Amino acid sequence: MILISLQSGSNGNCLYVETKSAGVLIDAGISARQAAARLATTGRDIKTVDALFISHDHSDHTRAMGTYHRKFDVPVYVTEKTLAAIHRRSRQGTLRNVHTFVSGTTFQLGELKIEPIPTPHDGVDGVAFVLDDGVSRLGIFTDLGHVFPGLTEVLATLDAVVIESNYDPQMLEEGPYPAELKKRILGPGGHLSNKEAAEVLARIDLQHLQWVCLAHLSEKNNHPEIALRTHRELLGEQITLYVANRHRESACMEILPPTG
């Protein structure tokens, strides 16, 4: 299984996951042109993508959903509540091939099993995703709200994970955001800090994780070096860490099959 982050942050989110039998996008928060061009730099054609999974209704995850759907003929997978909220927030145009799933209920795309995990983030019916191709399990855990019950147990089942590491508490406190926005980020429907993300990872057996990709870093309240340093302080050097970029695609992050 391969993960490529096409962009990650409040300015737009889009991830690509590839298995032997499928290629899927998770979220559509960057333009169709950007998504196609960035995927093309890795030698992949966005028109061959099998599905677009939507995590929640916020615009940095959905703004180009309708365009992806029509321009690239990509089927959309979304919960009914999230789809209704997206239509209330924005104009997405005609959607001809939409599949709804239920938060908390596993569904299939061919041989790929998708587990949508309910999150307390302040979107409508938001989910994290676990993708299982029968060999590896990859978690996409951004926009979590807070460390909710069951999160540690799910993380312990994964071979690799994308997890939000949104802000450094001191930078947020001293930064330019208005008080209400700071309160939202810190609240139960906001985001995980670097320390919170590292602490929840520290609770599991890291020998089972091949790598961790830190994602959804704040532009004003975080920095990749600070996020990495915080995680290194709590996790040590035994785990491979990546940081998803706010403005460009990542290298291919591969989950290797078990040996022996």
Convert the pLDDT of each residue in 193-228 to its tens digit: 999 999 999 999 998 899 999 999 999 999 999 999
Here the tokens at position 115 are 């587990």
Handedness of CA 25, 29, 35, 41 (dihedral sign): negative
Contacts of 134 (CB under 8 A, 6+ apart): 111, 113
Amino acid at 92: Q
pLDDT value at position 48? 96
Residue with tokens 């983030």: 121
pLDDT in tens, 42-98: 999 999 999 999 999 999 999 999 999 999 999 999 999 999 999 998 889 889 999
CA angle 94, 99, 103 (to 5 degrees): 125
CB atoms within 10 A of CB 32: 18
What's the CATH code, domain 2-254? Answer: 3.60.15.10
pLDDT of 174:
96
Q: Give CA–CA dist 196/165, Å, rounded.
A: 8
pLDDT for the residue 259: 72
pLDDT for the residue numbered 260: 57
pLDDT at 156: 97
Please give the Cα distance from 226 to 171 (Å, whole number).
10
Domain boundaries, the chain: 2-254
